[in-house]
Amino acid sequence: MKILAVESSSLVASAAVWEDDVIKAEYTLNNKKTHSQTLLPMIDSVLKSSDTDVSEIDAIAVSSGPGSFTGLRIGAATAKGLGMALGKPLIAVPTLDMTAYNIFKSHALICPIMDARRNQVYTGFYKNESDFEVIKQSFAADIKEVLYELESLGDEVIFLGDGVPVYKEFIKNHFACPYAFAPAYMNRQRAGTLACLGAKYYRQGKVVSAQSMVPEYLRKSQAEREMESKH
């Protein structure tokens, strides 16, 4: 089985080719590049580098959100276009599931946080000690509410994601449970991780048609909120 993975839910842009439990090629950038300019060349690069013809791909894994509205739309449009052109299914993987999947064989509760502005984060709670478990699915909340809920669970917590640099000091000053921050090599979205979790979901039958896949934003865009406030 071969999977092409496409990730653009945040500042990170990433593409990977996965084949039978091996990441054959991966290309990741985290350097303020425009996804609309970089994503297709990155996909072309990982396909060529892994000697993979695009027609050999069995499915396309794509980060389904939450995250940057623009980034999610670019990733979804790219995956949907390829899926429709090739007649291949899509594996819509929640962004926070994929981010949490970077952490393996840990007894701690895994808490990825993405900065959603205005003191809010996108987050979810996970375990990945013996098997990957979604303890609480993706949601948006004030960072204070997230820390309060985590404290009520009483577990040690590993924080990761692009929200960590924003809220690191707040967590240090306000979180009472044992915790750690994931190191750089496992604290951001990666298409390689997306492909691995996508393969797991593919085997479970969690696929959608390219036509039906839609991103999960969790909340309305700033433009939509501003429009509603005017009315």
Query: How high is the pLDDT of residue 31?
Result: 86
Q: What is the pLDDT of residue 83?
A: 98
H-type alpha helices, 87-189: 95-100, 143-153, 164-174
Read off the pTM.
0.93
Range of the domain at 107: 103-186
Answer yes or no: do 25 and 91 share one domain.
Answer: yes
Q: Do residues 9 and 91 both lie within one domain?
A: yes
Q: Number of folded domains in the chain? A: 2
Based on the fold, state whether residues 63 and 90 are members of the same structural domain.
yes
- Check residue 33 and give its pLDDT: 75
Is the preceding peptide bond at 165 cis, omega within 30 degrees of 0? no
Q: For residue 182, what pLDDT is reported?
A: 98
* Residue 135, pLDDT score: 97
* Mean pLDDT for the chain overall: 94
Looking at the fold, whether 14 and 78 belong to one and the same domain comes out as yes
**146, 160: one domain:** yes
**Token pair of 154 as six digits:** 């009483």
Note the pLDDT of residue 220: 59
Q: Are residues 76 and 111 in the same domain?
A: no
Residues 6+ apart with CB under 8 A from 26: 14, 15, 16, 17, 46, 190, 191, 192
Q: Indicate whether 55 and 139 sit together in one domain.
A: no
Residues in the chain, pLDDT under 70: 220-231
β-pairing, 106-115 vs 120-128, is antiparallel
What's the pLDDT score for residue 223?
45
Same domain, 39 and 90: yes
Amino acid at 198: G
Residue 4 burial (C-beta neighbours within 10 Å; 0-12, 13-18, 19+): buried
85 and 71 in one domain?
Answer: yes
Structure-block tokens of residue 180: 């750690």
Identify the pLDDT of residue 230.
54
Question: What is the DSSP code (8-state) at residue 121?
Answer: E
- The pLDDT, as a whole number, for residue 229 is 52
Report the largest interatomic distance among the alpha carbons of the chain, rounded to a whole angstrom: 54
Residues in Cβ contact with 106 at an 8 Å cutoff, skipping those fewer than 6 apart: 128, 129, 158
pLDDT score of 224? 47
Residues 63 and 115 in one domain: no
Do 88 and 39 fall into the same domain? yes
> Is 167 in the same domain as 220?
no
CATH number at residue 208: 3.30.420.40
